[in-house]
Amino acid sequence: METRKVQLSGGTTYTVSLPKSWANEHGIEGGSTLALYPDDDGSLLIETRTDRSGERRAVTIDVSTDSDHAVRHRIRAFHAVGFDEVTLVDRAGHSSERRGVIADTVGDLSGFEMLKADDTRVQLTNLIDADNVDVRKSALRLRLVTLGMHRDAVSAVLNDDETLAERVIDRDGEADKLFAMVTRHFRRALTDLHEVEKLDTGRDRLFEYYHVCRQFERIADHAEKIARFVLDPEATVPADFADRIEALASCSRHVIDTAADAILADASVEAALDALEERDELTSEIRELDEALYEHENAAEAHVVGLLLDSIRRTSEYGANIAEIGIEQSARECECVR
């Protein structure tokens, strides 16, 4: 770190000198223009590139020897870290099956589209700019989708409703798509000041939104897991456990809702603390019911109920993770008292 004294120039303008070694390294000289990004925390970030509006990150990769599994993960990774154009090259020619894999993968990624394709090259492009993205609203949408999935999954299991279960499973793709978009813009904001400016959200807050959405995505996965029990003819839930499971599942969703309010709805830190306390009470109740399963006569039924209880417990734990971030956010925003 270097320090500089601020000078008053002409009676109206404050000036500060730049480190000469840094200026030389980046080709800065008299008359050069720099981009300044003032932050609410008192920092002023300086970037040598002043206009990145037309800048697009592009990559071309050879997938000739990649498996379909590898291609899927490559595309998702390039989307996540913020590339705008991805060209997939196969010197032997993309098969119809490979093109189908690419199309399915792109369909799960918000903003990515297949721009053009020929025998050996498939070009993907991003169509959504950060100017048109509201990360907080995306998090609120993901919260709504996730809690709806969990509620419907539990209902499907307790009522043996295959149609509702399949609907829950299908919605997991929507949850994944929302989380992928939040991840993309969070990752871009880590290295691109222009992205932060477009999103109009500080990096601290972006991290908190990303962390919350990560928990929502995990909850959606457990909702899908619960729904799949309905499609297993050997998985049954005894009627005498139904009301208890419903009550516990409802409580776990309340933990999430209460905790999320502390971050997404500007609720007080007490909401986050209440969520943690409710999580602790729920964990104790689940433990009691789980212990009661040892006396259940049907081992297969006890196993299924045990797995359901584990998913409900994990759901509340993800809610607790959200609550902890809410508490940390409150601490970050507190003014220091000396």
**pLDDT tens digits along 285-328:** 999 999 988 888 788 889 999 999 999 999 999 999 999 999 99
Which residues, other chains included, contact 234 with Cβ-Cβ below 8 Å and sequence gap of 6+? 300
Q: What DSSP state is assigned to residue 231?
A: G
What confidence category does residue 237 fall into, taking pLDDT thresholds of 50, 70 and 90? confident
**The two three-digit tokens of residue 278, written as one number:** 């409710």
> What CATH number does residue 263 fall under?
1.20.58.220
Same domain, 231 and 288: yes
If asked whether residues 110 and 210 sit together in one domain, one would say no
- Domain-embedded: residue 338: no
pTM for the model: 0.84
Domain identity same for 325 and 186: yes
What CATH number did the domain enclosing 73 receive?
3.30.1370.110
Q: Show the domain range for 314.
A: 132-333
Would residue 307 count as lying in a domain?
yes
Contact 289, 248 (CB under 8 A): yes
Q: What is the pLDDT of residues 260-288, one digit of tens each?
A: 999 999 899 999 999 999 999 999 999 99
pLDDT recorded at residue 163: 97
Find the mean pLDDT for residues 50-68.
83
pLDDT digits (tens, 9 = 90+) for 204-222: 999 999 999 999 999 999 9
CA distance 327 to 95: 51
Residue 50: which pLDDT band, with cuts at 50, 70 and 90? low
Q: What is the pLDDT of residue 338?
A: 46
Residue 74 pLDDT: 96
Statement: residue 336 has pLDDT above 80: no
Q: In what order do the strands lie in the sheet with 121-126?
A: 58-62, 85-89, 121-126, 112-117
Same domain, 233 and 115: no
Q: Kindly state whether residues 112 and 259 are assigned to the same domain.
A: no
Supply φ then ψ for residue 113, to 5 degrees: -140, 155
Task: Identify whether 53 is part of a domain.
Answer: no
Based on the fold, state whether residues 233 and 262 are members of the same structural domain.
yes
- 80, 111, 130 - which closes a domain: 130
Q: Do 125 and 150 fall within a single domain?
A: no
Residues 123 and 139 in one domain: no
Q: How many helices (H) and strands (E) does the chain have?
A: 10, 8
Domains: count for the chain: 3
Asked if residue 156 and residue 38 are part of one domain, the reply reads no
263 and 188 share one domain: yes
What is the per-residue pLDDT across 238-260, written as a single tens digit (0 to 9) for each? 888 999 999 999 999 999 999 99
Would you say residue 2 lies in a domain?
no
Token reading at 1: 């770190």
Instruction: Quick: pLDDT tens for 79-111.
Output: 999 999 999 999 999 999 999 999 999 999 999
Distance CA 111, CA 106 (A): 9
Residue 258 lies inside a defined structural domain of this protein: yes
Among the candidates 71, 105, 130, a domain finishes at: 130
Domain limit, last residue, from 83, 107, 130: 130
41, amino acid identity: D
* Token reading at 16: 């500060």
For residues 71 and 124, state if they share a domain.
yes
Residue 67 in this model has a pLDDT that exceeds 90: yes
**pLDDT higher at 42 or 291:** 291
Residue 276 within any structural domain of the chain: yes
Check whether 180 has a pLDDT greater than 80: yes
Q: Is residue 1 in a domain?
A: no
Name the β-bridge partners of 13: 9
Domain for residue 161, yes or no? yes
- Do 216 and 72 share a structural domain? no
Look at residue 257 in the predicted model and tell me its pLDDT.
Answer: 96
Helical pair 96-107 and 68-80, crossing angle rounded to 10 deg: 30
Tens-place pLDDT, residues 143-158 = 999 999 999 999 999 9
What is d(CA 197, CA 193) in angstroms, rounded to the nearest whole number?
A: 6
Mean of all residue pLDDT scores within the chain? 90
Q: What is the mean pLDDT of residues 30-48?
A: 74
